[in-house]
Amino acid sequence: MNRTQDRPVTALEPHAHAWSPATARARFRAGLAGPTAGVAFGHTQANLISVPADWAYDVLLFCQRNPKPCPVLDVTDAGSPATVLAEGADLRTDLPRYRVWRDGELVDEPTDVTAYWRADLVSFLIGCSFTFESALTKAGVPLRHIEQDRNVPMYVTDRQCRPAGRLHGPMVVSMRPVQPEHLSAAIRETSLLPAVHGSPVHCGDPAVLGIEDLARPGFGEPVGLRPRDIPVFWACGVTPQAAFMASRPPFALTHAPGQMFLTDARDEQYRVA
């Protein structure tokens, strides 16, 4: 793995690991787009979900009932594009790429959703597994998707989330190949960060999760596995998007998978020990 002082070289830009979160957000606001793994290394990343206020309770209850894939870091006031997680940030412009949903169908993937913004939108910031990648890197666990300049692969499983109001759907997982000698470190380090999905939900045979082919992820990009690699799966914050596809709310905005919101928080703030 290419590193600078134990920091990964990102697929987005070679020096993006050294950006401040504010710099990253400014670059995204100016139109830069791409996977954010390793960007502003050491700072917490978050998934974005914005729904009309009359769906906000359903989303909040869905997250409360499914905390592994949907750990809530912040919830905004209706209509507000601001979050306490990043001073001066604008949730309408400061992510690399968004998704626009109507009746459960993806209708657009812009780099700015100002034109779609509504006064009744409530936004949820959900913990992201990119956050625990700094801990994995410090523990010596290689990150194959960063090595290969790819977005992390994400898969829709056959495990159904606990329904909440009008929302239901399957759990989505992200996968990182781990060599046997690194497996205990990967499990230990991520278990200490429950606010960003925590420990894996499964290690080994993907068929246990109903995943038929690792070369065909539902989101992101496939990564090449090496001999002895063990596929390790973590619950993923793209799960609400799968719920939108299944439940078909009339309108929603989300981040594009792998293209996250950079907060001002440091990863260690969410470490439990």
pLDDT per position as a tens digit, 214-265: 999 999 999 999 999 999 999 999 999 999 999 999 999 999 999 999 999 9
Q: Per the CATH hierarchy, to which homologous superfamily does domain 130-239 belong?
A: PSTPO5379-like domain (3.30.2040.10)
Q: pTM for the full model?
A: 0.91
Section 68-86 average pLDDT: 98
Residue 75 is given by DSSP the state E
The predicted-structure confidence for 34-65, as pLDDT tens digits, reads as follows: 999 889 999 999 999 999 999 999 999 999 99
Boundaries of every domain in the chain: 3-127+248-270, 130-239
pLDDT of residue 9 exceeding 60: no
Q: Are strands 230-235 and 252-255 parallel, antiparallel or unpaired?
A: unpaired
Domain 3-127+248-270 architecture: 3-Layer(aba) Sandwich (3.40)
Q: Give the model confidence (pLDDT) of 140-190 as tens digits.
A: 999 999 889 889 999 999 999 999 999 999 999 999 999 999 999 999 999
Task: List phi, psi (to 5°) of 174.
Answer: -100, 155
Query: Is residue 77 exposed (0-12), middle (13-18) or buried (19+ Cβ within 10 Å)?
Result: exposed
208 pLDDT tier (thresholds 50, 70, 90)? very high
